[in-house]
Amino acid sequence: MAGKPDAVDPGRQDAAPQWQAIGLLGVLIFAWGGNYTWITIALRDIGPWTFNAVRYCGAAVLVGAVLALRHGAAHIMPARRERGSLAVIGLLQGAALTVLITFSLKWIESTHTILLIYTNPVWSLLFSACLLGERLTLPSIAAVALGLLGIALLINPFAMPWTATTVPGIVSALAATMGWALGSVLYRRERWQSTFWQQVFWQLAASAVAITLAAAVLERDHMMRPTAQLTAITIYNIVVPTALAYWCWSQALARIRPSAASQILLLSPVFGVAQSHLVLGEPLTPALLASAVCVVAGAALTFWRPAARG
């Protein structure tokens, strides 16, 4: 069952679950870190709401079909008492996160979006302190300061054009990563009885309904060009960065703290920025690199724990 890996004291982390989580997060580094480039390309042919509606509907149908074929239609749904919580978490980590990221990519370069999204460990630490009772130490406070410094460097007028079109992109990316962090902490706080795939199905379904309704209203007149490139990117997004990634993220959160999981995922922007530079030709400016150093250093401090005295 889904809650088994988390049955031990969260403060006591065995080597096996840690290494399992690192392997799962390695899949996410590839799936999420490189996906900003492909989304940027896809948005040349389709609107952001429509793209994400197709992505989440497709992923929910795929996971539901697999569950039905393996265990029967009666085993698709999660436990009734867990559906409300899973829907909220799914909306925070799915609909809100994905749509806000997609909007951000319409206003600012994918390298800037990537670095803002991966300030996630800072917000995960703060939410963990408020909701999980994790202690804020001097290193963790220093981590928050470094993360905020990285954001300040990123939105410096010398680092990017300071216009009415860049501000919404920055705000969208920050709102996305804060919602993601909150959803991760809320997930870690519960002890789930439903299987991981049942949880994934319900979270995907909640996001699919929300995004589809919004797409029907906001993009009913938006033109779409059904190209082979768009089809390939959409199918890839349904299978890898959505269905598989949701499962890997839930599995990782059951094994290690959200702040620790987010720390490891900081390898994603390194991969993503390099890919955007190679595929899209986006520049690697000194301010951007300085921001990356601050964000990575701040997130690294969230993983540091003083040795116990005895």
> Confidence class of residue 22 from pLDDT cuts 50, 70 and 90?
confident
Q: For residue 155, name the pLDDT band (cuts at 50, 70, 90).
A: low
The pLDDT value recorded for residue 158 is 64
**Global pTM value:** 0.78
Report the pLDDT value the prediction gives residue 187, as an integer from 0 to 100.
Answer: 94
Q: How much is the pLDDT for 147?
A: 78
Is the confidence at residue 78, as pLDDT, over 80? yes
Residue 157: per-residue pLDDT: 55
Max mean pLDDT among 10-19, 26-35, 296-305 falls in: 26-35
pLDDT for 303 equals 59
Residue 88 has pLDDT above 60, yes or no: yes
* Predicted local distance difference test score (pLDDT) of residue 21: 86
Mean pLDDT, range 165-183, rounded to an integer: 90
Kindly tell me if the per-residue pLDDT of 10 is higher than 50: no
Give the pLDDT of residue 110.
72
* Mean pLDDT in residue range 228-242: 95
Confidence of residue 142 (pLDDT cuts 50, 70, 90): confident
- 223 neighbors 214 (Cβ within 8 angstroms): no
More confident site: 298 or 309? 298
Highest-confidence segment of 73-87, 147-161, 291-305: 73-87
Q: Where is average pLDDT lowest: 15-29, 167-181, 200-214, 296-310?
A: 296-310
Can you say how many angstroms the Cα of residue 94 is from the centroid of all Cα atoms in its chain?
Answer: 8
Kindly report, residue by residue over 26-58, the tens digit of the pLDDT. 899 888 877 878 888 898 899 888 999 999 999
Residue type, 27: V
Q: What is the pLDDT of residues 199-223, one digit of tens each?
A: 999 999 999 999 999 899 888 888 8
Q: What is the pLDDT of residues 261-287, one digit of tens each?
A: 887 787 776 777 777 777 777 777 777
Q: Please give the mean pLDDT across all residues of the chain.
A: 83
Instruction: Tell me the percentage of the chain whose pLDDT exceeds 90.
Output: 36
Read off the pLDDT of each residue in 109-129 and give the average, rounded to a whole number: 82
Winning range, highest mean pLDDT, from 11-20, 159-168, 230-239: 230-239
